[in-house]
Amino acid sequence: MNERYLRGFYVRLTGVLMLIVVLGLLATAYLSHRAFEQSLAPEMVKKVTSGGASVRGLVLTAMAHNIGFRELYGVEQSFEELKGAIPDVAYVALTDTQGAIVYESFTAPPGVAAYFREPGLLASAARRNASAPVVRLGKQYVVSMPIATPSQAVGMLHIGVDVGFVDRIVLDMLFDVLVVLIAALFFTLELLNFVAGTKIEAELKALGATIERGGAGNFSTFGAPSDQAFGAVHRLLERMRLRVNSAYEALARDVEAARRLPAHERPPGLAAAASGLSLLAQRYRFGPADPSETADAGLLARVRAPLFVFILAEELTRPFLPGYVKSLLVPISWLAPEVVVGLPIVLFMLIVALAQPFLGATCQRFGYRRAMLVGAAIAAFGFAASAFAANVLDLLVWRSLCALGYATVFVAAQGHVLEHSTAETRARSFALFVGAIMVATVCGPSIGGILADNIGERMTFGVAALLAVVSIVAIQRLPDSARAGQPRTKPSTSALRGIGALLLSKRFMTLTGLAAMPAKVLLTGMCFYLVPLYVLALGSSQTMVGRILMAYAVVMVLCTPLAAALATTRERMEKLVGAGLMISGSGGAMMLLGGDVGSVFAATVLVGVGQSLSISAQSALLREHCEAEVAAMGEPLVYGLYRLLERLGNALGPLLAAVLVMTLGYQTSFAVIGALVMVCGIGFLLATRRQPSPELAWATTV
C-alpha cells in the first residue's frame, strides 16, 4: 500500500462525493433559472406598464378635452421619450377598438397587425383594469395595455420589448447562479477535506505503514486507537504483533532462565537456541515502538482547516466594508470623506505588513500553536467589536485588532508549514498554505455579500467573529512542539542588523525585488485598481467586476497545486518564477489588442495563471537562495522581511496605477505595468542563470 495507491484512493473517493455535490448544484441552478424566467415576465410587464402610463395618460387627457383619437398631436414625441426612459423598447403602437394601427414608431415585429385584431385581445380593450397580456412576436415581447374612459373604450397601447433585454437579464441571473455554484463547490471541497479528507488520508497512510513495517519484520507494538477510521484492522494487526512479541519474550525468558542453571543441568540445545534468539533480534524488531515512528502523517495538512476558516472570516468583510465605513462617517476637518472611508483598509494592510517581521521570532519563541490561538482570539474580539462600532474612529481601533490577529495567525501558520516540511516538499507545502487562503478568497466575498444583503453588515461581522472562534477549536488540534530531530533556529544576530544585511544581499533582493514585489504590484495595481475602474468606465457593473476577480481566484486555486508539483528542484523553481512573471505581465500587455470586458477577463485569467506558477515557488526558493542568511538570522526574520517587502509592493501597485492612468489612460496603463513585470521576469531569469562548471566548460570547448 504505497503513497500513490493511497492518493489514488482518496482522489477517487473525493471525486465520487464531488460528483454528487456538483449534480445537486447543477439541478439547483437549473431550477433557479426556470424560476427566474417564470418571474421575469411579470417584472417586465410592471416596468413597461409604468413607462407606458405617460403615453396612456396623454391620450386620456386629450379625450377629456374632446380631441379625437386620430387627431392627437405629439404622439411620436411621447414614443421617443418612452424609448429614452426604457432603451430596450423596440416598438410602440396605438390601435383603435378594431385593432387598426393609428400611430406607431420604430420596428414592427412580424405578424403584429394580425395579432392586434385577435378577438381575445380586442375584448380586453373595454376593461380599464384588465391585466396587460404578453406575447412573443419574432424577436420582441409585446405588452398590450387597454386605454378606456369610464364611458367607452378608446383603443390599446402596445409596447414591444427586444428579446435581448430578457436574455441579458436571464444571462446575468445565470452568471450569478454560476458564481454561487462555484463558491459552494469550493466550500464543499474544503469542508470535505476538513471533515474527512485529511483524517482518512492520514489513517490510510498509517495503515499502509503498519503493513509495510510488518512485512519488513518490524513487530514493535504501536497501539490502535479505537476511534480510527480503520480501527478494527489496526486492532487485528496489533493483536498479531502482541502474540509475536509475547512468544519472543517467552522464548527470551526461557533462554535466560536456562543460562542461569548449573552447567550440568543446562539443556543440550541451549547454545543453538541462544544463537537463534540473537539472530531473531538482529533481523526483526520487538518490544514497544519508537514514539517518532508513530507521528501523525497529517501534521502539515492539519493547519489548512483552521487557516481556511480564519481567512474566510476576514474575507467575509471584503464586499461590504467600504459601505459600512461610509455609514459610520464622522466629520474630520483635515481629511476628505473619501480618504476616511479608506482608512480602515489602509490601516489594516499597514499593520499586517509592519508586524510580520517582528511577529516571526515571537511566534517561534512562543510556539506556533499558541500564537495562532492568541491571534485568532484577538481577531474574534475585533470582529465582534466592529459589529458594535458607533463611528469610524471606533472602527479603526477594532480593525487594528483584526489586523494584529490576522498577522499573528498568518505568520504562525507559515512557521508551522516551514517546521513540518523538508526541502523536497517545501513548495508543495506552501501550495497547501496558499491554497487555503485562495479558497477562502473564492468563497468569502460572495458569501459575505449574500449575508450582508440579508442579515445586515453588523450581523455579518458577528458571523465573522463566530468563524474566528471556530478556527480556535480547529487550531487546538495542532501540535505545539517543534519537529523531532530539528531544533528551532536561534538567530545569531540582532533584528536590525539582520534586516540591513538582507537588504544588501544580492540573492535576497533578486528574489524580492525582481519577483515578489513586481508580482504584487501587478496584482493590486491591475486586478484591484485598474480592472474595477476600467470595467465600470466601460458601462458594466460591479457584479461583473466581482466575477472577473473571482475568475482570478479560481485559476489560482486550480493551478497552484499543479505548479507546486513541478517545483521540485531549485532550477525548476527559478524557471517557474520567471515564466510566471512573463505570463502575468503579458496579461496587462495584451490590453493594447482589445479594450472590451472580454479582454479584461482574459487578461485577468492570464495574471492568475502567471501568479499560480510563481507564488509557491517564490516562497520555497527563498530558503534555497538565502540558506546562509536563514542559518544566521533565523527563518522568521528572513521570511518576515520578505513578506514585508512583498506587502509594500501591494501598497505600491495602486499608487503606480493611479499615476499611469492620470497620464496615459487605462489601456496604456495596463500595458505599461504588464511590460514592467515582463522586464522583471527577464531580469530574474538572467540573474539566476547558472554558469557552467569549469569541467563542463572545458568539455564544450574541446
Please tell me the class of the 502-692 domain: mainly alpha
In the chain, domain spans: 35-169, 217-294, 302-476, 502-692
pLDDT given at position 448: 76
pTM of this structure: 0.61
Per the prediction, the chain carries an average pLDDT of 76
- What is the spatial distance between Cα 433 and Cα 690, in angstroms, rounded to a whole number? 29
State which fold the 35-169 domain adopts.
Beta-Lactamase (3.30.450)
**pLDDT mean over 172-201:** 67
**pLDDT mean over 391-404:** 90
Q: Give the whole-number percent of the chain exceeding pLDDT 90.
A: 7
Q: Which range, 74-88, 327-341, 426-440, 546-560, is most confident?
A: 74-88
CA 251 from chain center: how many Å?
61
Least confident of 161-165, 202-206, 309-313, 455-459: 202-206
| The CATH homologous superfamily of the domain defined by 302-476 | MFS general substrate transporter like domains (1.20.1250.20)
**pLDDT mean over 688-695:** 53
469 contacts 594 by C-beta, under 8 angstroms: no
Q: Provide the edge-to-edge strand list for the sheet that holds 89-95.
A: 101-106, 89-95, 153-162, 140-148, 134-137
**Collapsing DSSP states into helix, strand and coil, what is residue 347?**
helix
139 φ, ψ (degrees, to nearest 5): -105, 25
438 contacts 312 by C-beta, under 8 angstroms: no
∠ CA(144), CA(146), CA(151), 5° rounding? Answer: 170
Question: Helix (H) and strand (E) counts for the chain?
Answer: 26, 5
Q: Which range, 64-73, 170-179, 341-350, 685-694, is most confident?
A: 64-73
The per-residue DSSP string of 459-476 comes to HHHHHHHHHHHHHHHHHT
Q: What is the pLDDT of residues 4-58, one digit of tens each?
A: 555 566 567 666 766 776 677 667 666 766 666 566 666 777 778 888 888 888 8
Q: How many CA atoms lie within 13 A of 176 on its CB side?
A: 15
- What is the spatial distance between Cα 679 and Cα 582, in angstroms, rounded to a whole number? 8
Q: What is the DSSP letter of 105?
A: E
Residue 702 pLDDT exceeds 50: no
**pLDDT mean over 69-85:** 84
Least confident of 73-82, 121-130, 313-322: 121-130
Q: Do domains 302-476 and 502-692 have the same CATH topology?
A: yes
Place of cell 383603435: 96
